[in-house]
Structure 1
Amino acid sequence: MPVKVSVIVPVYNPGRYIEDCIDSLLRQSLPSDTYEVIFVDDGSTDETPARLDALAADEPRVKVIHQENSGWSGKPRNVGIDAAQGEFVMFVDNDDHLGDEALERMYDYGVANGADVVVGKMAGQGRQVPVELFRRNRPRASVEDAPLIDSLTPHKMFRRAFLDEIGLRFPEGRRRLEDHVFVVEAYLRAANVCVIGDYVCYYHVRRDDSANAGFQRFDPAGYFKNLREALDVVERYTEPGPVRDGLYRRWLRVEMVERMRAKRLLAMPDDYRRKQFEEIHHVVTERFGPAVAAGLPATQQVVASLISACRYDDLVAFAEWEAGLRLSARPGTLQWRDGRLHFDYTAELTSGGTPLTFPGSGVPTPLDGPPKSTEEAIAWVGTDTVAQFGHATLDLLMRERSSAAQYFQPVEVTREIVPVEDSGRVRLVLRATVAFDPARAVEGAPLRIGLWDTYARARVGGWSKEARIGPGPRKARAATCAAVVGGHVVLPYWTDQYGHLSLDVDRASKRLGLSGLSPDAVELSGNRLRAPLPLHVPAGTAVLVRLTSPARSVETSGTLSPAGDGAVLEADLPVADLSGATWRTALCAAPDASEPRFLPLPLALRADSHTVKVARAPQPSPLRRLARRVRRRLAVVLGRRTEPKTRAGKA
């Protein structure tokens, strides 16, 4: 069959980090005979070349090209393009990996929309990735109507004929930002760019040893020389005016201003940050007119003005003030209603652990040259932030702990300017009200099994900040219960260490509180069992009850129905089948699941030929519990079981 996609992976000494990449490429939902994987080994000196040769011998879709070390990723990617047979080429780094359906979704979406470039949603595991670009699917996007410029890494799908038609290849040799030069020209010359926002296609991974190429310290002179080449591409394919200024603004903001702000600046040794400052000053004064910086938020305008005026000491002082700013996101109470988790939270900026205050009066004015002092800079930023507060936003993100995939949730936001006694100053408070639906949280699909963390993301003035939601008030922690929604058991809980709000999907057992069920609360009428459970169910839910004796198991259907603040379990017991034994009980909320999960109930049923009696299930002795832990640990050591990476209560 024709090759739809050629995946090109430049490789240099990845060690064990390439295994996740390989696994994800072989797991793709796209039929194996419709895509190829081309590993271009750039002179690796570890065991990777032999590993790849062995893989290619077993996998017809895998090809390996060996070459002498070229110094960077540009040449290996170009070699891969020239060897590719696919209609599209996709670039993947050797320490990253793809979502299982990434190639199929990106190819189909690109073909359906006649795209030359397909940008798939990214998740950052220890690395920052664009957020606003992936709020939604974008079948037709350009640099004028979408924040494409926020994503300049090469991890995208490109139509091979398009690259050949315009003669586009990566700059080669030991250099930086070769991907910026390539991607920005592709954006500017493509007939169409489409963006997938509803599925995580690419997982951008920070290695434990921080050996990713992008994290290595660079020579400032060489780096900003290469950056000028990306600016040259913009100048070549755009006219002077707002579009060009907007594109230039991306490099000013990300590659220059952000390097000179807050913790990022202060973390660098003084001599190194001075070198960066000098090189950035030269680029700013040489290439950018006043309109470029004028379009930045207030805080970034201040930093840009200090760079332009070559005021390094004032820049450091402003960074020290900004470094102390945090986002606080405090939740109110939580309550399940109609299958949704209703809660609210407030968010505001803090400094030194107390709410940040702003001038309560004043008229915002354009920044006319750099502020005379740090105090003047802070005052100007404060006045502008109050004036722009009507545009402030507050979002709720659900982030999957295992993968770092994150999804926006709908919220209702109000903004409140709160006077601070008689000080003449105000606090800026954002309030969000949430009706969270776990059955539709992942772009209309249910939350996946695992642990999910809640994040507030606020954009206030010139700051975009995220914070875990918490700590929760004690009343909210005490009142939290699990819900059965769409066959999943969803437990909101507050992490042990910091009290942050998280969700456990189909993993919790002890935390559910089922062990608190007393036999005295269970009703038996004939063969009908009725038991109250501390679970929320939005409506009648079909469940499965398993009864287990030392010799065998019996299963019977039942229902969970709303009852007061919880639910009631009702099931017909097969009394005739239970005679003469003691039976432990367990509940399955998803009887149609491929791998049903049963939750133990603290009930034992003792039956004779005519009646059934309820008692508390016997608990294993301390010695037996110890034996179980030893067996589990031994299974981990022998490789028969995987040890959990994260405990639910510690995050």
Structure 2
Amino acid sequence: MSTPKVSVVVPVYDPGVHIEELIASLLRQTMAAGEFEVIFVDDGSTDGTGERLDALAAAHAHISVVHIPNSGWPSRPRNIGIERARGEYVQFADNDDWFGDEALQRLYAYAKENDADVVIGKMAGRGRGVPKELFRRNHPRATLATAPLIDSLTPHKMFRRSFLMDHGLRFPEGKRRLEDHVFVTAAYFLAERISVLSDYVCYFHVARPDASNAGFRPFDPAGYFGNLREALDIVDAHTEPGALRDRLHRRWLRVEMVGRLTAPRYRDAPAAWRDEFFAEVRSALAERFAPGVAAGLAAPQRAVVALVEQDRPDAVRELARWESAVRVKASARVTGELEITATGELFGADGPLTFLHTEGGDSLSPPVTGVSAEVLDVTARLKSARMDVLVRRRGGGGEEFVLPATVTVERVAVAPLAPLAPLAPGASGAPGASGAPGAFRVVHRTVARLAPEAINAGRNAGRWEVKARVISCGWTKETELSLSLTMADGSPPVLREGAGAPLLVRVKRRVRRVLAR
């Protein structure tokens, strides 16, 4: 029996019909069936999935099933899959996600081209977030110091099997949280080469409609933060105190702590659970993070940290409610052949979001007191703010690609600029700052070029929507634009403005045709 190029390892527990998209995507792979194997590790399913997989394996020689007693978490099934795998590379998948048709072929080729120990394929999210900046371009030789790898800690990646075996890399077993963080963080430090493939969507990360994915289940805050500390320990073991360690630690502070404190799930949780989670965040802040960790966050996130340190959970919830109203409004028009000019800005609950300019710089003005002007400073963030124009496939797949563009930012005064003393330490801007001296809005303008051949490496059949995404001051907000595009054989492509008109991209004999619906 020949050695397969890739072993796909899938832990399975009671997915019901949600596993069917994954199965279909594996059977559609452009990599020949004889070149890869699929190992389903059934973790004691009780919904008939075991029998479904046995029948699948009986019909396809490259698919096998391992049945084990329920272990309660994906780690043991994944570890068993590593031991059973025969492939040169191991690709992990969850039973409710699925692959792009060319994913295995492209990932393996990219791994061989770059002699990579780890390959991360572009992900799309259906109902859940996925990294954005990491997949802005291909990274043949990415490191924790040169690319935002730390933004991607889920296990849905391709690993050289000999790399896993040589280093004894396995998932921590037992019913616990953040086991993938421990595994992936260790792999990042141990790998000689990591490659990121961003020009084709390889993996579709799906949230079930009933939110029954393991990552969405309720958890014990004390146990959760104990698991989080294990991931931080790995970072500390491989870095010295300083900028790199602070930047890596910042990922857990931003996502697992600040992000959860400001999420609707936290605001709507029972009071006793909120109190326990808040206390764990305070403890972790005090014992594990150097001052530079929080200092590198965006102003809204720094404000949350300051309020946590002041032991003000009610103020954190008020700030979260204010943030939840922040959104982007944008419009677009056709300004040239395949050229889009978009204009947009951030809005709050009461209108355009405003900032305050003082002699000390620019700052936010959220409706909370007791937060210093230094914490609320957005001077540097506003200088790097931008609005992307992107296309996203309609129909729920979630594939999206940022278009090449030129971006500009304009500050528009909403009140006559007048001298204003810097905010005193311990003070913050007050609500209603839009009428204060020094208040201004930020308007984004982006000129983007639509290149069908660059959308999903030309594998772009289907309907697409055009969106604007503003990235500013720690916020990433987006909205749909009303545009249509027509491209016919023998005629130059034409962009048209139209309310809600989707993009339709058809590929035939390598000639791309884009038609308005």
- Compute the TM-score of the two structures, normalised by the length of structure 2: 0.89
1:488–1:505 contact (8 Å) kept in structure 2: no
Helix, strand or coil for the counterpart of 2:169?
coil
In structure 2, what is the equivalent of residue 215 of structure 1? 216
Distance 1:450 1:182, change over 3 A: same
Distance 2:305 2:493 in 1: 50
1:262–1:321 contact (8 Å) kept in structure 2: no
What are the superposed Cα offsets for residues 42-85 of structure 1, whole Å, 9 maximum, x if unpaired?
Answer: 00001111111111111110111000000100000000101111
Distance 1:278 1:500 in 2: 46
Q: Which moved more, 1:265-274 or 1:176-185?
A: 265-274
2:43–2:77 contact (8 Å) kept in structure 1: yes
Helix, strand or coil for the counterpart of 1:374?
coil
2:415 is equivalent to residue 418 of structure 1: no
Superposed displacement of residue 505, structure 1:
3.6
Distance 1:492 1:60, change over 3 A: farther
In structure 1, what is the equivalent of residue 345 of structure 2? 348
2:90–2:158 contact (8 Å) kept in structure 1: yes
The counterpart of 1:459, out of the listed 468, 471, 491, is 471
The counterpart of 2:383, out of the listed 378, 386, 390, is 390
Distance 2:202 2:232 in 1: 29
Distance 2:406 2:325 in 1: 29
Counterparts of 1:364-403 in structure 2, within 5 Å, are: 364=361, 374-375=368-369, 377=371, 384-386=377-379, 388-402=381-395, 403=397
In structure 2, what is the equivalent of residue 445 of structure 1? 458
In structure 1, what is the equivalent of residue 198 of structure 2? 197
In structure 2, what is the equivalent of residue 433 of structure 1? 447
Distance 1:488 1:271, change over 3 A: farther
Helix, strand or coil for the counterpart of 2:250?
helix
The one-letter code of the counterpart of 2:474 is: G
Distance 1:366 1:240, change over 3 A: farther
In structure 1, what is the equivalent of residue 488 of structure 2? 484
In structure 2, what is the equivalent of residue 240 of structure 1? 241
In structure 1, what is the equivalent of residue 503 of structure 2? 503
What are the superposed Cα offsets for residues 76-124 of structure 1, whole Å, 9 maximum, x if unpaired?
Answer: 0000101111111110101111111111111111122111111000011
5+ residue gaps in structure 2?
A: 417-434
1:490–1:504 contact (8 Å) kept in structure 2: no
In structure 2, what is the equivalent of residue 127 of structure 1? 128
- Compute the TM-score of the two structures, normalised by the length of structure 1: 0.71
In structure 2, what is the equivalent of residue 334 of structure 1? 334
Q: Which moved more, 1:461-470 or 1:297-306?
A: 461-470
2:139–2:197 contact (8 Å) kept in structure 1: yes
2:405–2:448 contact (8 Å) kept in structure 1: yes
Distance 2:490 2:125 in 1: 29
1:10–1:77 contact (8 Å) kept in structure 2: yes
What are the superposed Cα offsets for residues 197-240 of structure 1, whole Å, 9 maximum, x if unpaired?
Answer: 10111011112222111111212111111111111111222222
Aligned residues: 494
In structure 2, what is the equivalent of residue 256 of structure 1? 257
Counterparts of 1:32-71 in structure 2, within 5 Å, are: 32-71=33-72
1:491–1:505 contact (8 Å) kept in structure 2: no
2:199–2:454 contact (8 Å) kept in structure 1: no
2:485–2:493 contact (8 Å) kept in structure 1: no
Superposed displacement of residue 485, structure 1:
6.1
Distance 2:512 2:399 in 1: 25
The one-letter code of the counterpart of 1:461 is: C
Distance 1:595 1:300 in 2: 47
In structure 1, what is the equivalent of residue 275 of structure 2? 274
Helix, strand or coil for the counterpart of 1:170?
coil
Distance 2:274 2:398 in 1: 31
Distance 2:504 2:24 in 1: 27
Distance 2:23 2:404 in 1: 36
2:79 is equivalent to residue 78 of structure 1: yes
What are the superposed Cα offsets for residues 592-626 of structure 1, whole Å, 9 maximum, x if unpaired?
Answer: 759999x9xxxxxxxxxxxxxxxxxxxxxxxxxxx
Distance 1:302 1:596, change over 3 A: closer
Helix, strand or coil for the counterpart of 1:360?
strand
In structure 1, what is the equivalent of residue 297 of structure 2? 296
Percentage of pairs with the same residue: 48
2:356–2:363 contact (8 Å) kept in structure 1: no
Superposed displacement of residue 455, structure 1:
1.6
The one-letter code of the counterpart of 1:393 is: R
5+ residue gaps in structure 1?
A: 471-476, 507-589, 600-647
Distance 1:79 1:45 in 2: 20
Superposed displacement of residue 491, structure 1:
7.3
Superposed displacement of residue 487, structure 1:
8.4
What are the superposed Cα offsets for residues 253-292 of structure 1, whole Å, 9 maximum, x if unpaired?
Answer: 1100111126454343433322211111111111111111
Counterparts of 1:81-100 in structure 2, within 5 Å, are: 81-100=82-101
In structure 1, what is the equivalent of residue 23 of structure 2? 22
Distance 2:374 2:241 in 1: 30
Superposed displacement of residue 443, structure 1:
5.2
Counterparts of 1:604-623 in structure 2, within 5 Å, are: none
